[in-house]
Structure 1
Amino acid sequence: MIYTLGSTFCEARSYQMSDVDQVQKSQPSPSQSHDDVIAQFKWQGKQIDWLLQWLVKFVANTKVELGVTLSVGGNLVSGHLISHDTYFEQLADDISAPFSSFANGTDATMKEMILSFKPGESSEDTPAFHFIHLKDCRTYSTDGNPICDAGVLWRGRISAVDGFTIGLIAEKPGVS
């Protein structure tokens, strides 16, 4: 199947991963040594939601931006899911901006340094992503009040996400 997103074409692939498969794959086998099991759990950390990981990879490959709301440690984080490339480009602009008043090219150096952290081109063979990036992000505490409502750039570990929904949290009427 081919889906059209604006001018981008995406091929839908059949992924043979379910929640049951993920749990079974994360279980240590009886033949593994204690050190292998510890290394496996250190590598895996908290179990990663394969669907969220796929969504992050989809956004990275298509450059689509998608509104999401994440549950992270009891707080809600709501923003536009962006690719890692877009994240690092915006981060480089934000960090280098204060240095533009210097005449010695410090801003360009800072921007170049931040862009050097950007991962290479992604493809279908790219290993799974472990970080999620949002722009125009707002964080809400458990009482519903915004902790950060300015709309910031945000980066977090996918393994730290407890749950997610597609869509943004709507602002309360009369609240800015």
Structure 2
Amino acid sequence: MAKDEILSFFVQAANHHDFSTDITLHVKGGLVTGTIISAASYFSNLKDSISEKNDVAKQLKEALKQAEESADTKQSNAEYIHLKNMSAYLAENKTTPANADLLWRGKISEVDGFFLGRISDEE
């Protein structure tokens, strides 16, 4: 499946220039909404969410640190989009918790469509 070049542009802006905006993605019949962040921010936030209670957690944090540093090399070809404060809307209006600080990573080539802005449960 081909990547959406406009969506790739938004991701590259986030990765290279710390650009951030709210977005809603249509993925495999569901909606994923959140704020675009850079790959480096994604790995940094993910790393910070893991407590170092054992050796496996320490190894995981080190691997995420290396991924964060690798993302900072400013690769020109973005394959993944990263979101923070994410909510997912699936069948029957079931959603992930809207107030959770969830991170999300998805393949750009798997996104069927998008719009700028986010869906909110608040009225």
Interval containing the TM-score (normalised by the shorter chain): 0.7 to 0.9
Q: Which residue of 2 aligns with 1:75?
A: 30
> RMSD of the alignment, in Å?
2.0
Query: What is the aligned partner in structure 1 of residue 76 from structure 2?
Result: 127
Q: Secondary structure at the match of 1:168?
A: coil
What percent identity do the matched residue pairs reach?
31
* 2:12/2:76 contact within 8 Å kept: no
Q: Larger relative CO (CA 8 A, sep 6+): 1 or 2?
A: 2
Shift of 1:112: 2.2
Question: Could you say what secondary structure the match of 1:65 adopts?
Answer: coil
Contact 2:21–2:35 (8 Å) recurs in 1: yes
Q: What is the CA deviation profile of residues 87-135 of structure 1, one whole-angstrom value per residue up to 9, with x for unaligned ones? A: 000111112x2x25x6xx876554222111232421xxx3320000001
Indicate the structure (1 or 2) with the bigger Cα radius of gyration. 1
1:168 to 102, 118, 122: 118
- Which residue does the alignment assign to 2:41? 86
TM-score normalized by the length of structure 2: 0.85
Normalised by the size of structure 1, how large is the TM-score? 0.61
Unpaired runs of 5+ residues, structure 1, are: 1-45
Gaps of 5+ in 2: none
Counting only pairs closer than 5 Å after superposition, residues 2-13 of structure 1 correspond to structure 2 as: none
Q: Which residue of 2 aligns with 1:152?
A: 102
CA distance in 1, matches of 2:101, 2:87: 5
